[in-house]
Structure 1
Amino acid sequence: MASKAHPTHQQKHLAVLIDADNAQASIIEGLFEEIAKYGVASVKRIYGDWTAPQLGSWKKVLLDHSIQPIQQFAYTKGKNATDSSLIIDAMDLLYTRRFDGFCLVSSDSDFTRLAARLREEGLTVYGFGEEKTPKPFVSACDKFIYTEILRAESLPEPAASGDKPQPVAPAPAAEPAKSTDKPAPIKPQKVPVDAIATVIDGLDDEDGWAPLAAVGSDITKIRTDFDPRLYGFKKLSDLIKGNPHRFELEERGTTSTGGKVLFVRNRKTGK
């Protein structure tokens, strides 16, 4: 008799919709590596006027990643028909009820209402865009990932105790011909220690300890663009270790799968 699948182990089915006019082909490898963390990209579509020369860099990667190009002519100069086409397809896919979430790849605030509408239906929305993305679109998503992070081929080692974290290193320009397709790396950002401390206070037990996983989940609800990589760390645990004057980290046994159970608390300031 075949064993039943455990619902908790089932991966989420995601629809990936890319606005070619407001995203760059240089993110493609990092994009799908990131999406794989959240589920399976069951649908992969990209929208744009493929007769236009500026989309040439995208044409080179579509087949390699099995992305379906959707042709949308610009009917009127200055009007973006691509947005409308993507939004219509998103709603069609929504009503199939086959998806657990959507990945919207664009830096365009025109998709703010779409993200909000998808969330109203109980679906998870992951946004991907450049640092210039307007805040309303960032906030409308459940989680927002800046694509400058995805271009970084390597991350610095976690900062030593008391040291300031280093900014994410940009990917080296291996092909000069494509250098114009890569904007400047994301600006180093200050670790939001006060926001993290507030989340810990809301989850801690009588001794001040809170599960690190729960802290990471809750801070993303408050700041949808929170990502340790923005501050030079690979993981939240590395960020906590890199700020020993504000936080303490403790390991308690292992999970049923053999993973570490980490707890964090705000360090008491007595000095």
Structure 2
Amino acid sequence: MPVPIESAKLAVLIDADNASPGVSDALLAEIAKYGVASVKRVYGDWTTPNLRGWKEAANVHAIQPIQQFAYTTGKNATDSALIIDAMDLLYTERLQGFCLVSSDSDFTRLASRLRESGVIVYGFGERKTPQAFVSACDKFVYMDVLRSQTSPDEPEQEKPAARSGAKELRGDARLMNLLRTGIEAASDDEGWANLGTVGSHIAKQSPDFDPRNWRYTKLVDLVGAIGLFEVERETGADGRTKSIRVREKRKRS
């Protein structure tokens, strides 16, 4: 029997050298949407002063710090320790998913291997994350969408950008192609498609697709802002939205 998403057991493995402690609160809040963080570990050389922020975050969130000395200059022993632990957890724990927190391409093969074993892989990293790692995950969330405001220790360029307008959205060829392809794949004879199905189809094509990348909270808000699609809501007796359908606006003759 499939495990409900809200009770799925997840392992959260954080590469402290490639993740900022400033988003730890938002990170764990995001992970809670996908399941229960049964295992929480953060890897790094805790004898170095640059991990001071993660020491505090680990205490607050009960994340287990894993010590890994840098044995050789230029070699990342932390990555190896995280990968070994991930494979141990895969075979010794009953987990439904893994959350890999890093922007390092070295975890690309790990993400692929975990998925091959039938578990869900969620990736979390910066915009600089190589596409290969992003594509190896079932879903990938960029850290900047988790930042509601810039914390004092975050660089200035990390500040959240303004919400994209209709002109900018229409000019985003990749976004428009994903939406049109998703709607076409899920549409009925009249061109209407269930928005939830559209979102699922897009996620399979593009793990990093997220309305928040354009500063919209929900997919329906993003679709509506573009102005090229019709949106139809079905509400129940209680006034709540039961389903949302979308289709591309038809040209008037």
TM-score between the two structures when normalised by the length of structure 1: 0.84
Instruction: Report the alpha carbon displacement of residue 194 of structure 1 after superposing the two structures with TM.
Output: 2.4
CA 1:80 to 1:186, structure 2 compared with 1: closer, same or farther past 3 Å?
farther
Instruction: Report the alpha carbon displacement of residue 40 of structure 1 after superposing the two structures with TM.
Output: 0.5
Determine the C-alpha separation between the residues in 2 that align with 1:20 and 1:265. Answer: 44
- Partner residue in 1 for 2:41: 45
- Partner residue in 2 for 1:206: 189
CA 1:254 to 1:218, structure 2 compared with 1: closer, same or farther past 3 Å?
farther
Determine the C-alpha separation between the residues in 1 that align with 2:22 and 2:124. Answer: 13
- Partner residue in 2 for 1:167: none
Instruction: Report the alpha carbon displacement of residue 127 of structure 1 after superposing the two structures with TM.
Output: 0.2
**1:183-194 matches, cutoff 5 A:** 183-185=157-159, 191=169, 192-194=175-177
The 8 Å contact of residues 48 and 82 in structure 1, kept in 2 or not, is answered as yes
**1:17-36 matches, cutoff 5 A:** 17-36=13-32
TM-score between the two structures when normalised by the length of structure 2: 0.89
CA 1:253 to 1:259, structure 2 compared with 1: closer, same or farther past 3 Å?
closer
Instruction: Report the alpha carbon displacement of residue 236 of structure 1 after superposing the two structures with TM.
Output: 0.2
Letter in 1 for 2:95: F
**1:131-142 matches, cutoff 5 A:** 131-142=127-138
Count of aligned pairs between the two proteins:
243
- Partner residue in 2 for 1:81: 77
Q: Say what the alpha-carbon RMSD is for the aligned residues.
A: 2.3
SS at match of 2:100: strand
SS at match of 1:238: helix
**1:1-271 matches, cutoff 5 A:** 8=4, 11-151=7-147, 153=148, 171-173=149-151, 176=152, 178-180=153-155, 183-185=157-159, 191=169, 192-244=175-227, 246-254=228-236, 259-270=241-252
- Partner residue in 1 for 2:172: none
The 8 Å contact of residues 6 and 33 in structure 2, kept in 1 or not, is answered as no
Unaligned runs of 5+ residues in structure 2 are: 170-174
Determine the C-alpha separation between the residues in 1 that align with 2:96 and 2:19. Answer: 23
Letter in 1 for 2:183: I
Determine the C-alpha separation between the residues in 2 that align with 1:54 and 1:133. Answer: 21
Determine the C-alpha separation between the residues in 2 that align with 1:18 and 1:261. Answer: 37
Determine the C-alpha separation between the residues in 2 that align with 1:8 and 1:103. Answer: 17
Determine the C-alpha separation between the residues in 1 that align with 2:193 and 2:125. Answer: 31
Instruction: Report the alpha carbon displacement of residue 11 of structure 1 after superposing the two structures with TM.
Output: 1.5
CA 1:48 to 1:139, structure 2 compared with 1: closer, same or farther past 3 Å?
same
Q: Structure 1 vs Structure 2: percent identity of aligned residues?
A: 53
The 8 Å contact of residues 233 and 241 in structure 2, kept in 1 or not, is answered as no
The 8 Å contact of residues 255 and 261 in structure 1, kept in 2 or not, is answered as no
Whose helix fraction is larger, Structure 1's or Structure 2's? Answer: 2
SS at match of 2:38: strand
CA 1:131 to 1:255, structure 2 compared with 1: closer, same or farther past 3 Å?
farther
Determine the C-alpha separation between the residues in 1 that align with 2:159 and 2:178. Answer: 25
The 8 Å contact of residues 9 and 35 in structure 2, kept in 1 or not, is answered as yes
Unaligned runs of 5+ residues in structure 1 are: 154-170
